[in-house]
Amino acid sequence: MQDNPNTDTEIETVYPDPVDWQIAFEPYEGNAEAALTLGFRLTELKQSIRDLDMHEALQEIEVAIDCLYEHSDFRSISREMFGTAISGKLTTDKETLLRQLGVRI
């Protein structure tokens, strides 16, 4: 059987690195609404994991959210605002401002 560098190499960690997350999120390029929806889902997952006190997994989800941010309309505004939006903590004033700036929420 032929050697396959993708399956035959030992992996130092089971978690994706930022490059892996960028590849995984390529389908979100040009689809900011889907990126935002996934951001909501990852935040919900993060909260569930936090409740179980699984710090390493939480760090990896944070890396995924950082990479997903690059595919959202928020990349022209701020990562902090993206985090606020996917956490469901946007005030009405901030939602209005974001809509005026052309960000789809």
Provide DSSP, 4-66: -HHHHSPPS-SS--HHHHHHHTGGGTT-HHHHHHHHHHHHHHHHHHHHTT-HHHHHHHHHHHH
Q: Which two tokens stand for residue 76?
A: 């022209």
Quick one: which of 66, 72, 14, 74 has its CA closest to 43?
66
pLDDT tens, residue order, the chain (105 aa): 455 555 555 557 778 899 999 999 999 999 999 999 999 999 988 888 888 878 888 888 899 999 999 999 998 889 999 999 999 999 999 999 999 988 888
The residue written with tokens 């995924």 in the block is: 64
